[in-house]
């Protein structure tokens, strides 16, 4: 639960939301299931963060990155007996062919994939799908995405996996 909440808080600080075609089928299927936690952050939320004062240059860069984001959508389930099945189902329902795999992390008790969608040479969506023995999460972050800023925030908040995004350049290629 702590890991999911940290990811939710981190992304809420960074994003806002609109319906995304890529994950709308999956979200629609489970939106009324109360065993799932759902987070939707609107673009209005981002506007609130752009008015904050930046104390350091790094804070200024993070706020600038936030201003370019348009949305966030998270669907998560803890204590899920069917977490691995949900992970596989997500890959069947989400049109993965529209995405490029950015990073894959396999741990002893979970798998995590980061995928990106590019348009006009810029990353327009970051999709993360995570499934483990007892937990599942799918997250869509969209807008103009700076992977290094996502990584910095993830590192500061000690979110496992997101620190690997710093090794990726602005076009989604490994350095």
pLDDT tens per residue, range 126-161: 889 999 999 999 988 888 887 777 666 555 545 555
The Cα–Cα gap between 71 and 131 comes to 22
**What is the structure's pLDDT at 152?**
63
Burial of 147 per CB tally in 10 Å (0-12, 13-18, 19+): buried
Decide if 94 contacts 127 (C-beta within 8 A).
Answer: yes
**What is the structure's pLDDT at 163?**
57
**What is the structure's pLDDT at 87?**
92
Decide if 159 contacts 166 (C-beta within 8 A).
Answer: no
**What is the structure's pLDDT at 137?**
92
Tokens of 140: 């869509």
DSSP assignment of the chain, as one string? -HHHHHHHHHHHHH------HHHHHHHHHHTT-TTSEEEEE-HHHHHHHHTSPPSSHHHHHHHHHHHTEEEEEEEEESS-TTHHHHHHHHHHHS-GGGSEEEEEEE-SSEEEEEEEEEETTEEEEEEEEEEESS-EEEEEEEES--HHHHHHHHHHTT-TTGGGGGGB-TTS-B-
**What is the structure's pLDDT at 77?**
93
**What is the structure's pLDDT at 130?**
93
Residue 47: CB atoms within 10 A of its CB come to: 12
Decide if 75 contacts 135 (C-beta within 8 A).
Answer: no
**Closest by Cα among 10, 25, 137 to 78:** 137
For the chain, residues with pLDDT lower than 50 are 2, 5-6, 8-9, 11-20, 157, 170-171
Decide if 114 contacts 166 (C-beta within 8 A).
Answer: no
**What is the structure's pLDDT at 18?**
33
**What is the structure's pLDDT at 23?**
67
**What is the structure's pLDDT at 59?**
76
What is the residue-averaged pLDDT of the chain?
A: 75
């Amino acid at each position: 639960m702590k890991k999911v909440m940290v990811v939710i808080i981190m992304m809420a600080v960074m994003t806002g939301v609109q319906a995304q075609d890529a994950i709308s089928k999956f979200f629609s299927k489970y939106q009324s299931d109360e065993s799932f936690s759902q987070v939707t952050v609107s673009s209005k939320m981002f506007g609130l963060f752009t008015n904050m004062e930046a104390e350091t240059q790094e804070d200024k860069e993070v706020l600038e990155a936030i201003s370019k984001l348009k949305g966030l959508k998270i669907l998560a389930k803890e204590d899920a007996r069917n977490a691995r099945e949900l992970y596989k189902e997500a890959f069947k329902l989400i049109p993965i062919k529209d995405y490029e795999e950015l990073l894959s992390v396999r741990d002893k008790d979970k798998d995590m994939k980061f995928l990106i969608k590019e348009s006009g040479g810029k990353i327009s969506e970051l999709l993360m799908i995570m499934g483990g023995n007892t937990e599942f999460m799918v997250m869509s972050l969209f807008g103009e995405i700076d992977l290094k800023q996502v990584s910095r925030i993830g590192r500061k908040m000690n979110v496992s996996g997101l620190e690997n995004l710093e090794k990726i350049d602005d076009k989604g290629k490994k350095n």
